[in-house]
Amino acid sequence: MTISDQRGGATAVKKTVSVVTGDRQSGFIRTIASYTNLPPVPLNVDTEPELLPDGKIKVAVNLQYDLPGGASSPAADTANAGPLRSTQIRENLAVILESDKPLVVAQSADPVGDRQVTIEVKATVLR
């Protein structure tokens, strides 16, 4: 899975998360960054693939991706709202994939600022 996080016209920051698991077996990754002046910042991914008779892969994906305030600048029309504390993204998806072919499965927009997050998933059958 590749998470592309873009603010305004800046180059997207990409984070790649990989999980190896078996047919109908769940796998997950839990990552938390802790800073002195910020609350914990999680990046959590749950996944459960299922091999289909036609060779495709059904994948359930659950994502929690948070961004602390200060890492993103608010839009000009929100200047009186005060400082941004955090932005949270939650995705719960079920998709059908072809082995080794990436697919953009979600694109989220910040409800206030100019941040966009794109989720690309790729499943590969290992034999």
Judge contact between 122 and 104, C-beta under 8 A.
no
Distance CA 62, CA 101 (A): 19
With 80 as the cut, is the pLDDT of residue 78 above it? Answer: no
Q: Tell me the average pLDDT across 96-125.
A: 91
CA atoms within 13 A on the CB side of 33: 9
Beta-bridge partner residues of 46:
28, 62
With 70 as the cut, is the pLDDT of residue 71 above it? Answer: no
Judge contact between 110 and 78, C-beta under 8 A.
no
pTM: 0.82
Within its chain, how far is the Cα of 13 from the centroid?
A: 12
Name every residue whose Cβ is closer than 8 Å to that of residue 54 and which is 6 or more positions away in sequence.
Answer: none
Q: Tell me the average pLDDT across 10-29.
A: 94
